[in-house]
A and B are shown apart, each in its own frame.
Chain A
Amino acid sequence: MAEDTILEMRSITKEFPGVKALDDVTLKVRRGEVHAICGENGAGKSTLMNVLSGVYPHGTYDGEIVYDGQECRFGSTHDSERAGIVIIHQELALSPYLTMAENVFIGNERSRRGWISWNRTERDAKQYLERVGLHDNPGTRVLDLGVGKQQLVEIAKALAKDVELLILDEPTAALNDDDSSHLLDLILELKAEGVTSILISHKLNEIKKVADSVTIIRDGRTIETLAASSAEVTEARIIRGMVGRDMTHRFPEREPRIGPELFRIEDWTVHHPLDRERVVVDHANLRVHAGEIVGIAGLMGAGRTELAMSVFGRSWGTGISGTAYKRGERVDLRTVHAAVEHGIAYATEDRKQYGLNLIDDIARNVSAAGLRKLAHSGWVDANAEHVVAERYRRDMNIKAPSVNAVVGKLSGGNQQKVVLSKWMYTDPDVLFLDEPTRGIDVGAKFEIYTIIHQLAAAGKGIVMISSELPELLGMCDRIYTISEGVVTAEVAREDATPERLMQYMTAVKEEDHE
C-alpha cells in the first residue's frame, strides 16, 4: 500500500455503434513513473487515452477514473487539463504561422482582462522552452522548425499548463534517431522533476529505455502490466503479449534469386524546388537487379525520399539532371505518367497525404494508378474494377468488410496494403517503397515483408527506403547509404552491420567544391 497511485482507470468500457473499442480495461499508474502502453494498431490505446483526457466525455463510457484519489468526470479536455492531465496527440496541435511563444500559450494565454501581455508571454515561454531544451528565439514561427523541435514545443505547452500527468501518443513516430533519443531523455528529466508520463509507443527499444512499467492492450482488453525494468521483460516478451503469440522471426525467410540489372540511375542530381541553389541529391548512382531488394539508408533530410520522388516522374525538386536506364536502355521519366508507363512505381512514405484518397473506397483507390487498364476508350468498367479490387483484398488480406469500405477508416497496415495493391495493379518492374512499414503494428509488418518478398520472387526490383536499420538489415540484399544527398557507400548484406551503416549515414562531405 506504500505505492502512491496517481491514476486508476477501472473497468473502462467504451462502445461505438457495432464495435466494442474498450472492454473492461483497467490501468493503474504510479506517481512519478513512466508508464508505457503498447498494443497493435486498433487495440484501443488511443481510445483509452481519449477517455482519460475527456475527448470522450463522462457518460459516453462505462467505468470510473480515479485521479489523485478523486473520482473524475471530465466533460472535455479543458476539464482534464485543469486537473493536470495533458495529452499530446500523434498529429501535433500547433498553429504553424504563429511563433513558438504564441503556441506555448495557445488556449492558456498570458493575459490581463482579455488582453495579451506580450512581455509575460515571451519571458515565460522562453523559460518553458529552455526547460525542454529549446534555445531558439521564442519569436520563431513553428513552421520554420523541424518536426523534432515542434514536438518539444508541444511538451513546453504542456508544461505551461502545469502538467502532472503527461500523455504522449507515439511521440517519436515522425522523429529521426537523434531527435527521438533527445525526446526520451527529456521524458526522463521530467520524471526526475516529478512529472508522471504515459507513453504510447510501437517502438519496443524505447519502452525498454525509459519506461518503468508497461501495460499491454490487445483487442480492447488489458492483457497484463509488466515491470519494464526487470530482465525477463524482453522485447520478445512484450511482442508476445501484443500479438498473443511468439514472434521468433520478425522477418520472413527468403532465398534471393537475383537476375540481370533492371534499372539504374547515373549522375542523378536534384535541386530544392524553393531554393534552386541547394543541391538535395548530388550525382547519385544507383542500380537494382531483377529479384533484388535494395535498401536506402539515411537520416531524415538526407535526400532519400527526394531521390525516389525525383526519379518517379520528377514529382519532387527542380533542376533535375542525370540519366535513367531500364534494362540497359535509356528512358525518359519526365512525368509520373511516363514513369508508370515504364513500369516504375513509388509507394509513398506519407500514405494519408500522398498515397490515398481517404474519402473514397478501397476499389477506387486500388484502381487509381492503373485505371486505364480497366477502361475501354475512356469508359471505366466498374465491374471489372470490383473484381480486381476484390482479388487484392483477398490476396493481400486487407481487413475490411468489402471493397466499398472507405479507405480513411482502415488501420495503418490495411491502408498500406491498399497503397501496395494500387501499385501492384500497374504491374511495375521496379518498386520504390518509401518507409513501407511506418506506423504499422508488428503483425501487419510481417505481412508487408512477406508481400515484398513475393514481389522480389516474381522478378521485380525493389528499392526500399527505411529509417529502421534492423528492417533494412533484415530485408535487403544490398544497402546504399546516403548522407546530405551523396551516396556514401554501397554495402552488401553480408557486410552490413548497424554500426557500419550508421557510420556511412553520418559521413559528411569532406570537400564542398565542384
Chain B
Amino acid sequence: MSAETKVPTTERAWRTGASYLAGQLRQIGLFIALIVIVLVFQGLTGGVTLSSRNVSNLVVQNSYILILAIGMVMVIIAGHIDLSVGSVVAVIGALAGVLNSKHGVPWWATILLCLVAGAVIGAWQGYWIAYFKIPAFIVTLAGMLLFRGLAQILLHNTQISPFDDAFRKIGSGFLPDLGHGTSYFEPLTMILAVVAVVALVLQAVRTRRSRAVNGLSLEPLPWFVLKNAFMAVLILGVAWLLATYRGTPIVLVILGVLVVGYSAVMASSVFGRQVYAIGGNLRAAELSGVNTRRVTFLLFVNIGVLAALAGLVFTAQLNLAGPSAGDGFELDAIAAVFIGGAAVTGGVGTIGGAIVGGLIIGILNNGMTILGLGTEWQQFIKGLVLLAAVAFDVASKRRAGRAIS
C-alpha cells in the first residue's frame, strides 16, 4: 500500500481507471455497439430512426422479444435452453382469441387465464426437464411442435379477430395523456422519466454508500458519475421522444417493471444466486444444499408465464390470433441473450445484457426495414451480428485467460 502511494496520484488514477474500464469491456462494448448501430441507422435513414414515432414503434414492436429474452436469459444462465417460446406465444394467442374474441370473456379474466395457462405449460416442460431429467433441448423441441400443433387445433387453422379494445391496450395502448393532447409534450411521460431517474440515482448512491460503510471496493468516482449521468440522459432522452409522440406505451411500463424486478432477482435474491450456481456447476450446487430440481422447475414455470405474457402483448398488438404467430421468436430471443453476453455453457449472463442484445436486434430489424432491405438481407446481417458478438466474447475471454494461466 505504502509503495503505491509514491506513484503520482494522477498517473495512478489513470492506471486504475484504465484497468477498471478494461474489466468492464464487455458491458461497455455492448452499449457502444448499440449506440453505433443507432447512429449508423440514424445517418442512413436520414433521421427517421430516432424520430418520435419510430422510437415509440421500436419499443412497442420489440416488447415481446424483450419479454421472452428475460425468461430466456435466466434459463440459459442455468445451462438450459427453451426452443418452445415461439409456439407458446401462438398457443396463448389462440387461447386469448377463443376466450376474448369468441366467447367474450372480459380482458382481465382473459389475461389471468392465459398467464395461468403459461404457468401450466411451463410446469409441464419443467417437470420433464427437472424431475424426469430429459435435456431441455429435447423437451422444448417437443414443446415447439406440441404447442404449435395445439395452437392450430384451437384455431381450427384459421385466424381469430378482432379483440375488444381494453384487451388491445396491453399491446398497443398508451398511458393517459395528462395534457389532453394540448401540450407540446405529454407531461405524464416526463414525470415518470424524472421519477425513474431520481430512483435510479438514489439507489446507486445508496448502494455506493453502504459499500463504503462496509469497507468494500468502490467503482472509480468519475466512472460512477459518468455511468449514472449516461443512464439519466438516456432515460430522459427516450422519454422526451416518446412524450412528443403519443406518450408512454403501456408495454413499456410492463417491460420496465419486469426488467427492474428480474434484474433484482437475478442479482441479489437467493433464487437468482442459485440459478447462477446451477449453471456454473450443477453438482457443486447440489452438494451445497441447493434444491436444483426445484430451481430448474421454477425457471421453466417462469419462462412459461413470460412467454404467455409475450403472447398476449403480441396478439393484442396485431389484434389477431393466427396459427403461425410467434414463428421464430425463440431464435430472436436466444440470439438476444447471446449477443447480451451469456455463455452457452451456463453460469454467465445478465438481464440487462439480454435487453441490450434484444434492442440491438430490434434496431437492426427496424432500421433495415426502413431502408427497404428484404427479410433475406435482414436474416443475413443478424446472423453476422450474432456471430461477431460471440466471437468478440470468446476473444476477450481468451485474452483474459492468458493473463493468468
Q: Mark B276-293, 1 if CB is under 8 A from A, else 0.
A: 110011011111111100
Tell me the complex Cα distance, A461–B211, Å: 36
CB distance from A91 to the nearest CB of B (A): 13
From known contacts A369-B288, A409-B404, infer whether A357 and B281 are also in contact, taking CB-CB under 8 Å: yes
| Chain A interface bracket (under 10, 10 to 19, 20 to 34, 35 or more) | 35 or more
Cβ of A360 and Cβ of B269 under 8 Å apart?
A: no
- In the complex, A39 has a CB within 8 A of chain B: no
Cβ of A340 and Cβ of B289 under 8 Å apart?
A: yes
Tell me the complex Cα distance, A409–B274, Å: 22
- In the complex, B182 has a CB within 8 A of chain A: no
CB distance from B147 to the nearest CB of A (A): 31
Instruction: Name the contact of B280 in the complex, choosing from A336, A360, A371, A382 (C-beta under 8 A).
Output: A360
The winner among B264, B280, B284, B405 for most chain A CB atoms within 10 A is B284
Cβ of A359 and Cβ of B288 under 8 Å apart?
A: no
CB distance from B265 to the nearest CB of A (A): 9
- In the complex, B403 has a CB within 8 A of chain A: yes
- In the complex, B9 has a CB within 8 A of chain A: no
Tell me the complex Cα distance, A360–B275, Å: 12
Tell me the complex Cα distance, A378–B217, Å: 25
From known contacts A359-B348, A378-B271, A383-B216, infer whether A17 and B402 are also in contact, taking CB-CB under 8 Å: yes
Tell me the complex Cα distance, A335–B217, Å: 37
| Chain B interface bracket (under 10, 10 to 19, 20 to 34, 35 or more) | 35 or more
Of A163-171, A324-332, A348-356, A498-506, the segment with at least 4 beta carbons within 8 Å of chain B is A348-356
Tell me the complex Cα distance, A185–B270, Å: 52
Cβ of A356 and Cβ of B281 under 8 Å apart?
A: yes
From known contacts A336-B289, A372-B270, A402-B217, infer whether A357 and B404 are also in contact, taking CB-CB under 8 Å: no
Interface of A is mostly: mixed
Cβ of B270 and Cβ of A387 under 8 Å apart?
A: no
Complex contacts, B270 vs chain A, CB 8 Å: 371-372, 375, 378-380
Cβ of A18 and Cβ of B403 under 8 Å apart?
A: yes
Complex contacts, A368 vs chain B, CB 8 Å: 273, 277, 284-285, 288, 290
- In the complex, B10 has a CB within 8 A of chain A: no
Cβ of A360 and Cβ of B287 under 8 Å apart?
A: no
CB distance from B152 to the nearest CB of A (A): 40
Closest to A357 in B: B280
Complex contacts, B271 vs chain A, CB 8 Å: 378
Complex contacts, A336 vs chain B, CB 8 Å: 286-290
- In the complex, A315 has a CB within 8 A of chain B: yes
Closest to B403 in A: A17
CB distance from B111 to the nearest CB of A (A): 26
Closest to B292 in A: A336
The winner among B216, B343, B402 for most chain A CB atoms within 10 A is B216
From known contacts A378-B269, A382-B268, A386-B216, infer whether A356 and B289 are also in contact, taking CB-CB under 8 Å: no
From known contacts A346-B287, A375-B270, A380-B269, infer whether A358 and B405 are also in contact, taking CB-CB under 8 Å: no
Closest to A367 in B: B273
- In the complex, B210 has a CB within 8 A of chain A: yes
Q: Mark A301-341, 1 if CB is under 8 A from B, else 0.
A: 00000000000110100000000000000000001110110
Q: List 15 A-B contacts (CB under 8 A).
A: A16-B403, A16-B404, A335-B289, A336-B288, A357-B281, A357-B284, A358-B280, A358-B281, A368-B277, A379-B269, A380-B268, A380-B270, A382-B268, A387-B214, A409-B404
Spell out A's residues near B (CB within 8 Å).
Answer: 16-19, 312-313, 315, 335-337, 339-340, 346, 348, 353-360, 364, 367-369, 371-372, 375, 378-380, 382-384, 386-387, 402, 404, 409, 422
For the complex with contacts A348-B287, A357-B284, A368-B284, 13 further pairs of A-B residues with Cβ separation under 8 Å are: A16-B402, A313-B289, A315-B286, A315-B287, A335-B289, A336-B287, A340-B289, A353-B281, A356-B281, A359-B348, A371-B274, A372-B270, A386-B216
